[in-house]
Every structure is written in structure tokens, then in C-alpha cells.
């Protein structure tokens, strides 16, 4: 037999990495410089995990960790709602700005579990509302005016679930991300 032609080796399936745990997120946070750990760790870790395709599994841990770091046993319900919305604004801003790196689908895949979690476990006052639309000054008419041309394009991609994405999953809770999507 000719040694030049060897039988092909069988390649094994690549291992799928395990989900990111809360303990791992805390470990990553502790590895950041003190300045970053104090001021913008949520922004950094959100962008890192989303760009590494771990956004959907890590976002609830990140949100809950940020919430626990920002509250105490004496935090009132009104303060908790305000803090929750502030954290969501930060996460939304990362997903809007960094979508040029990891794409809009990654942003959407990341935000849906968080919105579901907040809607399930918190009062509606904890969610961002239509008034939390920082880019509203960029529009001369309401965001709904974008829907016709945007729907036509997006239906080519999200044929089976565009209405569910815009009406149910996003609703009025992430207007900046909705604006970017449309």
C-alpha cells in the first residue's frame, strides 16, 4: 500500500461550550481593572458575552447582578423600579451601539430573555416604556411610521415571527433597539 495516501481521519464534533454561570460572570467582573469594575463593568461584560454568542444565557445573570450591586434592603419599590430601568437603558445602549460588531439578531436574541424575565418577575413599572426612547429626536414622526418599509424588508428575514418580535417580545419596552431594528 502506498503511504502517500492514508485513509482520512475522522473528525469529532466540536464540543459546545457550557452556559456561562453567575459564578463565572462574577469571576470575569473581578478580573476587570478597579476603575472599570466600579463604573462600567456591566457595559463591558454585556458586550463581551453578546459578541461571544453568550448573550441570551448571560443577560439575566448580568441584570440581576447589576440590580443586586445597586440596591440594599432599604431600597424602596420606587427606587428599585428606577434602578431597574437604568440598568435596562445601559444594556439597551450596549446592544444598540455594539450591534455593528455582533449584529442586530444577536442584540434581539439577548434582549428577549431579559424582557421575559422582567415581565415575569417584576411589576410593569420596572420595564422601560415608550417614553424611554432616547433617539426620538431623530424621528420627525413616531416610530410606527417606519413600520411599512421596514416590515417589508424584515419580513424577508423574520417571515414567521416578525409580528411576535415587534408586538410581544419588544412591545414598548426597548424603543431604541426597536428603532435600530426598523
- Reported as a single tens digit per residue, the pLDDT across 18-27 is 788 999 999 9
- The secondary structure of residue 102, as a DSSP letter, is H
181: nearest Cα among 161, 119, 57: 161
Contact (Cβ atoms closer than 8 angstroms) between residue 69 and residue 16: no
pLDDT digits (tens, 9 = 90+) for 88-147: 999 999 998 888 888 888 888 999 999 999 999 999 999 988 776 665 555 555 555 555
Contact (Cβ atoms closer than 8 angstroms) between residue 66 and residue 84: no
For residue 38, the SS3 value is helix
Rounded mean pLDDT, 38-42: 93
What's the mean pLDDT when you consider all of the chain?
A: 82
Least confident of 12-16, 31-35, 112-116: 12-16
The pLDDT of residue 99 is: 86
Distance CA 123, CA 164 (A): 22
pLDDT digits (tens, 9 = 90+) for 154-174: 777 777 777 777 777 777 776
- The secondary structure of residue 11, as a DSSP letter, is P
- The secondary structure of residue 13, as a DSSP letter, is P
Contact (Cβ atoms closer than 8 angstroms) between residue 20 and residue 61: yes
144-164 exposure pattern, b = at least 16 Cβ within 10 A, e = fewer: eeeeeebeeebeeebeeebee
143: nearest Cα among 160, 124, 126, 166: 166
The pLDDT of residue 22 is: 94
Amino acid at each position: 500500500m502506498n503511504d502517500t495516501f492514508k485513509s482520512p481521519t475522522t473528525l469529532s464534533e466540536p464540543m459546545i461550550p457550557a452556559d456561562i454561570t453567575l459564578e463565572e460572570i462574577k469571576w470575569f467582573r473581578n478580573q476587570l481593572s478597579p476603575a472599570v469594575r466600579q463604573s462600567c463593568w456591566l457595559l463591558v461584560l454585556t458586550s463581551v458575552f453578546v459578541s461571544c454568542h453568550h448573550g441570551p444565557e448571560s443577560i439575566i445573570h448580568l441584570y440581576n447582578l447589576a440590580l443586586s450591586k445597586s440596591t440594599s434592603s432599604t431600597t424602596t419599590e420606587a427606587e428599585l423600579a428606577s434602578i431597574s430601568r437604568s440598568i435596562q437603558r445601559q444594556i439597551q445602549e450596549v446592544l444598540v451601539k455594539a450591534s455593528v460588531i455582533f449584529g442586530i439578531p444577536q442584540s434581539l436574541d439577548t434582549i428577549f430573555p431579559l424582557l421575559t424575565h422582567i415581565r415575569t418577575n417584576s411589576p410593569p413599572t420596572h420595564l422601560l416604556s415608550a417614553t424611554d426612547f432616547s433617539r426620538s429626536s431623530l424621528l420627525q414622526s413616531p416610530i410606527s411610521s417606519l413600520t411599512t418599509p421596514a416590515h417589508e424588508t424584515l419580513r424577508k428575514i423574520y417571515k414567521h415571527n416578525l409580528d411576535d418580535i415587534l408586538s410581544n417580545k419588544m412591545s414598548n419596552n426597548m424603543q431604541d433597539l426597536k428603532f435600530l431594528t426598523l
